[in-house]
Amino acid sequence: EEEQVRKITCCAPINIAIIKYWGKLCEVENLPLNSSFSITLNYHDLCTTTTVTTAPSYVKDQVYVNDLWQDINENPRLKVCFEEMRRLARKQAISENAAAKELMSCSKKIHVQSVNNFPTKAGLASSASGYAALTFALGQLLGVKGDLSGVARRGSGSACRSMCGGFVEWLKSEESKNSTAKQFVDETHWPELRVFILVVSSKQKSFGSTVGMQRSVETSALLKHRIENIVPHRIKVLKQAVLEKDFCLFAEICMKESNQLHAICMDTFPPLRYLNNVSEKIMNFVYSYNERCGSTRVAYTFDAGPNAFLFTLAPFAEDLANQIYQVFPPSKDCTDTFFKTTEEFSFPN
């Protein structure tokens, strides 16, 4: 019987953390010190599209990201995703009393082509959508059933949250099997919510999150305080705000979380600086815009980079967009297509 070529294509979106993940309990397993909470964006706006293929002629695994060859052996995160998916496939095949042929197919060589429709490594969570797309695609190819967020997590912590749509919590746990992502409410829950992404810099970030987190865990007393005394309560309040669609409360938590992440970065020794002058200006713009409106209409959040994610509600989106364009006119080196993407950006339609 002739072996066939099989090909699967998947698309995974980025997610934006409202309650931030910062600090690892275990670096190898990517287990977080605190639970986090995020919103997964639309499928087609900022996403990674990944195609996985098996063919009889393949002699080894190959991975290309944006047409660049990746050395799997030099990338432990990538390697562990392949290993984990094959291990799960084998385990499932054995438990289902699969024929020898099916067991064999778990070790077939796989080629991966992965493409981002936005700047890679610009602090726009490309590793989140990337590992979510890879994990999901491998799962489809190998026929692995069940929750695979734990595998995506091994690739990049925040990637596990992109395995679910809508509003998502990633649970902390000392046990790998329990540190998974769970949907809190789905993408239809809050249709008025909108997000703008202000690309302050599309340069690669200077300090990777793994090294940054490690330094914070070792040196920041504020991080310890946050994990013990702040995060558990904040997640509770945020969930309530989301359930009640209370934008004012949502916005307050969102901005306080971002501020605390960057306060911890400054409390880290030597300090980590992810924000720049433009990021600071955007924060000031948000506070004065809300003050001018006499109510909270916009909230910012920043991850480990200078780019801003702004949340607002549909009725305010147009005015906000106009104001943003006035205060922060798009620079010449911004590519049109990317601006189109961010301009048309909305959640969750």
x-marked contacts with ligand PMV along 123-162 as a string, rule CB under 6 A: ----x----------------------------xxx----
* SS3 category, 130: helix
Toward ligand PMV, which CB reaches closer, 20 or 90?
20
- Shortest Cβ 1–ligand PMV spacing (Å): 43
**Which residues make Cβ contacts (< 8 Å) with residue 262, sequence separation at least 6?**
274, 275, 302
Contact stretch for ligand PMV (CB under 6 A) within 4-12, 14-22, 65-73, 316-324:
14-22
Peptide bond connecting 270 to the previous residue in cis, omega within 30 degrees of 0: yes
**Which residues make Cβ contacts (< 8 Å) with residue 32, sequence separation at least 6?**
21, 23, 24, 25, 157, 170, 172, 179
Q: Judged by CB under 6 A, does residue 17 bind ligand PMV?
A: yes
Toward ligand PMV, which CB reaches closer, 38 or 53?
38
Instruction: Please list every residue from 196 through 225 that binds ligand PMV, using CB under 6 A.
Output: 209-210
326 vs 78: CA distance, rounded Å:
42
According to CB under 6 A, which one of 10, 14, 20, 141 is a site residue for ligand PMV? 20
To 10 degrees, what angle do helices 277-293 and 314-327 make? Answer: 130
Q: Using alpha carbons, select from 62, 42, 17 the residue that is nearest to residue 238.
A: 17
Q: Judged by CB under 6 A, does residue 18 bind ligand PMV?
A: no
150: part of which helix (H) or strand (E)? helix 149-155
- Shortest Cβ 310–ligand PMV spacing (Å): 16
Phi, psi of 130 (to 5 degrees): -65, -50
Toward ligand PMV, which CB reaches closer, 119 or 157?
157
Tokens of 323: 């104001």
Provide the 10 A C-beta neighbour count for residue 50: 27
Instruction: Please list every residue from 34 through 63 that binds ligand PMV, using CB under 6 A.
Output: 36
According to CB under 6 A, which one of 112, 251, 304, 324 is a site residue for ligand PMV? 304
Q: Judged by CB under 6 A, does residue 303 bind ligand PMV?
A: yes
Instruction: Please list every residue from 215 through 274 that binds ligand PMV, using CB under 6 A.
Output: none
Positions that interact with ligand PMV (CB under 6 A) = 17, 20-21, 36, 127, 156-158, 209-210, 303-304
